[in-house]
Amino acid sequence: MVEINRRNPKQARARATVDAILEAAFQVLDTYGHAKFTTSRIAKRAGVSIGTLYQYFDDRDAILQELSQRYSDALRERITKLLLEEPELSSVRTVIRAAMQGVEGSPETQLVLSNTIFQTRGGAEVSRQHSAFMDALSTRGEYEFVLGKEASFILTHTVVYLLRATIMEPELELDPQRLEDELVHLMESYIANLAQRAGA
């Protein structure tokens, strides 16, 4: 007798409830800011009871951590999408453009999510972003030389922290296109120098 895999309705409903809570949480964060990011406001926006919310999340920090993880995953998906849809761009520009565009949300929302993921996962998340960046660079074989771990560290961390700094310093009113060009120039110049040294 052939077994047919069926999706458990309870699991499907639970997943839908979690998704609704997280979508509501994002809306609350983006609308009211971190100071008014409360579980009661999230539950009301999601259309669930506060008891239901606490069945899935311990507190607002747990919700924020899950949102941050989704933010990080969405950023990597955007990089992959740009690599596929805009192959004429260099890999460096693709990564930087995707990171600058970020995902949905105001600059404050993106900063809160970015800070949360780095505070809760620390080095582990930096390492994940590092791996995603290096994977993107190697996608089309543009850089055939071997990058040492120190050079790889500089490449990924420079991008990650400079882009976080742009969110934290909106008063500078940096022009996005010029900033993208400068970051690409910085990264590609460094990579070209690495390639030159590797050839030597």
% helix, strand, coil for the chain, step of 5: 80, 0, 20
Look up the pTM and report it: 0.64
pLDDT at 25: 95
Of residues 136 and 190, more confidence is placed in 190
pLDDT at 3: 44
- Distance between terminal CA atoms of the chain? 66
Q: Which residues, 6 or more positions from 26, have their beta carbon under 8 angstroms from its beta carbon?
A: 67, 104, 105, 109
Q: Residue 71: which region, alpha, beta or left (left: phi > 0; alpha: psi -120 to 50)?
A: alpha
pLDDT, one tens digit per residue, over 36-93 is 999 999 999 999 999 999 999 999 999 998 988 887 777 777 766 766 676 666 777 8
Of residues 163 and 182, more confidence is placed in 182
Report the share of the chain in percent with pLDDT over 70: 69
Rounded to an integer, what is the distance from CA 171 to the centroid of its chain?
A: 23
pLDDT, one tens digit per residue, over 151-163 is 777 877 787 778 7
Residue 163 and residue 157: Cα distance in Å, rounded?
10
Contact 66/57 with Cβ under 8 angstroms?
A: yes
Neighbours of 118 (CB within 10 A): 19
Of residues 48 and 169, more confidence is placed in 48
Return the amino acid letter for 111.
L
